[in-house]
Amino acid sequence: MSAAEQRVVIVTGAGIGIGAATAKAFAAAGDHVVVTDVLEAEGAAVAAAIVDAGGSAEFQPYDVRSTETTERLVADILTRHGKIDVIVANAGIAHRTRLADLTDEKWDLTFDIDLKGIFRLARAAAPSMRARKSGSIIALSSIMGVAYGWDEHVHYSAAKSGVVGLVRGLAVELAADGVRVNGVAPGYIRTAQLLSEENSLGPEGAEKAAAFIPMGRLGTPEDIADVIAFLASTGARYMTGQVLVVDGGLLVGRY
């Protein structure tokens, strides 16, 4: 595959978990992946692993909270590669905080990363995608944003619900210019986030959750990455404005 044929894919939060698996999935398909994260050692390691496996990748440190950094990242990629084909807006945080302790600052931090961070990158990349009449943006929501409430995570649930509205609005505005915008809402996925005692279920809670998932197991980062790769493919060419739940049957099977 020539450089001109190779898609250029940006993945945010790609140092660990779903982001890392997604970066590797796109690289395995022959794409050039721009691995981004605030976790510089982890992000660089993912890019190095892709290259070592014969793929094409680079690492760029990137904090989605900065509009200036976002615009600089997009401009740099367009200068060096001439295009951006796919954006996977995956970067996110989830901090357990009781309502009584949920300060404006904690609320704003979660929204700045989990929702506004997606908006910033989409806004910066949209002009070049529209000019080329081609592009795919995939944003990460959560089952906690599309169906469930999550106690002590009000800010997270609200931000992830916002992602659904963002996907729909962007999809309608960009559709006529050939740019598709979709989302994925993962269920319980075996990641460092889920296994955190402090901020999520923890190992014991995760295993209990697996018992009531109809498919009988937690999801893996790769389970989500493969759906993201599908949404960016020609197989999903007539899909836009959708948020796909990938949860092993949890939402439909929990009565």
pLDDT in tens, 126-167: 999 999 999 999 999 999 999 999 899 999 999 999 999 999
Q: Could you write out the DSSP letters of every residue in 99-132? A: GGG--HHHHHHHHHHHTHHHHHHHHHHHHHHHHH
Top-tier CATH class for 8-249 = alpha beta
- Encode 98-123: b = buried (16+ Cβ within 10 Å), e = exposed: eeeebeeeebeebbbbbbbbbbbbbe
Instruction: Convert the pLDDT of each residue in 71-109 to its tens digit.
Output: 999 999 999 999 999 999 999 999 999 999 999 999 999
User: What pLDDT score was predicted for residue 2?
Assistant: 64
Confidence of residue 198 (pLDDT cuts 50, 70, 90): low
Domain boundaries, the chain: 8-249
d(C-alpha 69, C-alpha 157), whole Å = 26
Question: Which residues, at least 6 apart from 100, have a Cβ–Cβ distance to it below 8 Å?
Answer: none
Spot the catalytic one: 62, 148, 156, 188: 156
Q: 104-114 and 116-132 are packed helices; what angle lies between their axes, rounded to 10 degrees?
A: 20
Known catalytic residue at 156: yes
CA distance 218 to 138: 22
